[in-house]
Chain A
């Protein structure tokens, strides 16, 4: 198949039923997608990626604009289009109660792939996805990574010319994600046009072509290298920081020449405004070494949307310092000892021990199903351990979980407030739950409205809030009772980089006041914010330490400066190898 245009879109606007005339899911989008390359469709949740995918797959009727896919009108020629386009929706579209082979047969029948052609394609797809051994297994019993591969295989039956993948990396561990990436690269090399939607900008960076979206608009279309090149010289790393790196970050972000900054292990990574030299005069004393580093797509994204937040949190001024009672060891405000949890024969958490200092951010990181959520839930008293001990603030969670819960704030992964209550009502409700009443409640609610700048949205229903404000509200509700401990379950997955930075500036302010934070994440970026990381794999804690230490552990001649993702993958591979060598039970 010759290279050429696969998709051409002009002036495409879409609005869902129920959206006002001023709101758009997509706003005047123009885009061309070539054959033979992987086009990354990148942007935060709500940017319009899925809507654009569905429009290309002929599953939605656009409000206005033109769209041509493989020379066809996606609506009028829907059934021909569906033969030539493979579309994998976010949940992979698999029937979990059918086996791997039954899923493949179903999609082959639906796309008219029969006889010898079917046998040949199945053979190839099973080789490709390495699912030969599992053809008889129910799709629901596959791991996340294998489900995703099967989803891809089902989409590829019938040899589509255009492959649309909607966030194929979500919920899949980095190892499976790398494998999938290699497969898709091979397909593109054969001439297939591939569109890969993702909220991870580091994933988009690897694509041949990029369409960067934000709030329904395309903010950049072209090769990702162009954006990286544009930022060259503006991304710097401040190393050997003296004093607290969180304070350093806040000060740096306050400077007019710095548009963005994040903590990266022991160092702080900054993005400078156009034409700015590193502000050695202001920062040099605390960071003697500020060196240029390779820019990332995220730097360009932040630049395109006009810079990140200034790093200040209004929360900082209103919080009291957390005072620990004398009998509690400040080195172990959270403590797990030989913590084990079984579900039947399955050991979800296997003799895990760690402790967390006062004012520390401790991250639990691991692939899906590794047991990090189980461990996390035991630590906040939502799940009883089978054996071992879990303590927070000296309280044993096995015996007095309610007393312990009063000591901790919990922010769930999904937005878990009452969507049809107003902002102020949500705050009042949570204040009530934590035992505040009368004047102290009024005072606390007023303070939260002010600290999180929610005053303007006081009466707005929580479900209607912009994403960033939803996050602030969730955090405000979790902090209502001024807990000394804060538990965050994947707090910013799918959230845009600006909102994510703002969220972490609040967390940093809390930590400054002595709040101890425990967080689960599979976001490598988020892991960098942590003081220490516990890497969970197959129920066991396989490595604990500061992010930079973990990186150093895996560095070698071939990879002198590994990223955190590299560290993650290598540590897991080492653990697998060690198990294999020991001939241990699976």
Chain B
């Protein structure tokens, strides 16, 4: 028998290990659960359960001034299709529903409202109180109330024919998502979260499992090479990631009617690059901890939570503190979320996609490279 088989990389060994890994995935109900059922559930939660749209907000309006002007403003506000108003004469009356969260904000019309309006010196004010514990909603309430007030002032001035202000009216239009449905940007972004779960959380278990079950020791005692071992862990899960991506896209487009304006090819490239980072990180944690529980917890903190919190999916990155903004730069999900939202809502826009894909490429090379460096072919070190 020739004894030269041990030299160099062997496709046969790689294939054997990949087959083994794939069979293990197929026979382990939990990995299929994570790869197929979880994405579906997550997409439905993001698609139907969570909505960042702010229609039909409940607000309170406090008429400390019961004058005609104040009544008129309140009537206009009450006519808005986006809010539901509750009237009161003092703040105290609405303090409780506000604290309970039944009201998202208060519009206070102060006692001197009518008097200041009559003075005509532009010193009339309203006060807007919002619930700071929900910043997105608070911002919306503040600017909506302010806008309402300003347009009422303009309309009042117009009616009196004393329009000194420039006759410009602002009418916002939302491009790329004309109806500003939050689902259209949440779903593409949440696909990034699903990919993180498959890439990082699932793979964080696989190397550690071999250590825990004692099979790694037997594997290391065979002529298997480092590259073969790593690829055999990465490739099957890469395949699983692509399948999950296909499932997600079909659900998003067919069931949830989220438009996909980019090309499938670009989607494939972006997914591949992102899975590179996620798989690399998962495998690295698994390799370092050699313990499934620790690896999964580490992956949760290092991959899943940043993908949800720091990717710009739910919280706007530009409104984060500078330090946290800096941290988001090393979160691969941040770039992938941007890429996904762009691909779904705008299309193959090279100017946006290229820099983000470049970051994803660098990140993938970094994590996979680090994993390769930390993979030991011995039990020690």
Contact = CB atoms under 8 A, between A and B. Distances in A.
Interface of A: 16-17, 54, 57-61, 75, 78-80, 82-98, 102, 105-107, 109-112, 114, 117, 154-155
Given A59-B378, A94-B215, A112-B5, A82 B222 contact: yes
A89 to B, nearest CB: 4
11 contacts: A79-B7, A79-B225, A80-B223, A90-B214, A97-B24, A106-B19, A109-B13, A110-B224, A111-B222, A112-B223, A155-B218
A58 B223 CA distance: 11
Contact of A79 (B6, B12, B219): B6
A102 to B, nearest CB: 7
Contact of A93 (B218, B223, B377): B218
The 7 A-B pairs with the shortest beta carbon distances in the complex, nearest first, are A93-B218, A109-B16, A91-B214, A112-B5, A87-B221, A79-B6, A110-B222
A98 B24 contact: yes
A97 B380 contact: no
B214 A89 contact: yes
A85 B213 contact: no
A106 B13 CA distance: 8
A152 to B, nearest CB: 12
A97 B28 contact: yes
Contacts of A111: 222-223
A110 B16 contact: yes
A89 B377 CA distance: 16
A109 B214 CA distance: 20
Interface string B209-233: 0000111011111111100000000
A376 to B, nearest CB: 26
B66 interface: no
A17 to B, nearest CB: 7
Contacts, number: 104
A60 B380 contact: yes
A88 B218 CA distance: 7
Most buried by A among B221, B225, B378: B221
A1 B27 CA distance: 42
Given A79-B7, A87-B221, A111-B222, 18 more contacts: A59-B220, A60-B378, A60-B379, A80-B6, A82-B6, A87-B218, A90-B214, A91-B215, A95-B20, A95-B24, A97-B28, A105-B16, A109-B16, A110-B17, A112-B10, A112-B13, A112-B223, A114-B12
B161 interface: no
Interface string B125-160: 000000000000000000000000000000000000
Contacts of A105: 16
B217 A59 contact: yes
B312 to A, nearest CB: 39
Given A60-B380, A80-B3, A83-B3, A89 B217 contact: yes
A111 B12 CA distance: 10
B380 A61 contact: yes
Nearest to A111: B222
Contact of B23 (A86, A98, A110): A98
A93 B24 CA distance: 15
Interface centre among B12, B19, B224, B378 (most CB of A within 10 A): B378
B3 to A, nearest CB: 7
Contacts of B213: 91, 96
B3 A97 contact: no
Contact of A112 (B12, B218, B380): B12
Nearest to B378: A59
Contact of B215 (A57, A80, A83, A93): A93
A98 B28 CA distance: 11
Contacts of A112: 5-6, 10, 12-13, 223
B221 A106 contact: no
Contacts of B6: 79-80, 82-83, 112
B120 interface: no
Interface in B219-258: 219-225
Contact of A54 (B12, B17, B28, B379): B379
B13 A93 contact: no
Q: Which of B7, B24, B27, B381 has the most CB of A within 10 A?
A: B27
Interface in B165-224: 213-215, 217-224
Contact of B223 (A17, A82, A114): A82
Contacts of A54: 217, 379
Contact of A59 (B7, B27, B225, B379): B379
Nearest to B379: A59
A97 B20 CA distance: 9
B351 interface: no
Contact of A61 (B5, B10, B381): B381
Nearest to A78: B377
B15 interface: yes
A107 B16 CA distance: 9
Contacts of A107: 222
A428 B163 CA distance: 86
Given A16-B380, A91-B214, A110-B16, A79 B24 contact: no
A533 to B, nearest CB: 32
Most B C-beta atoms less than 10 A away, residue of A85, A86, A89: A89
B1 interface: yes
A89 B220 CA distance: 11
Contacts of A97: 23-24, 27-28
Contacts of A92: 214, 218
Contacts of B223: 79-80, 82-83, 110-112
Nearest to A99: B23
A102 B225 CA distance: 20
Contacts of B1: 117
A21 B219 CA distance: 31
A162 to B, nearest CB: 11
B307 to A, nearest CB: 29
Contact of B221 (A57, A95, A102): A57
B215 A95 contact: yes
Nearest to A95: B215
A88 B217 CA distance: 9
A59 B23 contact: no
A155 B5 CA distance: 18
A102 B222 contact: no
Contacts of B219: 93, 110
Nearest to B26: A97
A98 B20 contact: yes
Nearest to B6: A79
A103 to B, nearest CB: 9
Interface in B69-92: none
Contacts of A88: 218
Contacts of B16: 105-106, 109-110
Nearest to A74: B378
Nearest to B10: A112
A124 to B, nearest CB: 15
Contact of A102 (B5, B23, B378, B381): B23
Nearest to A84: B3
Contacts of A57: 221
A50 to B, nearest CB: 10
B3 A59 contact: no
Contacts of A82: 6, 221-224
A92 B215 CA distance: 8
Nearest to B8: A79
B347 to A, nearest CB: 44
B4 to A, nearest CB: 9
A170 to B, nearest CB: 12
B233 to A, nearest CB: 14
B375 to A, nearest CB: 14
A61 B24 contact: no
Nearest to A87: B221
A105 B225 CA distance: 18
Contacts of B224: 82, 110
A119 B218 CA distance: 22
A84 B220 CA distance: 13
Nearest to B228: A110
Contacts of B221: 57-59, 82, 85-87, 89, 93
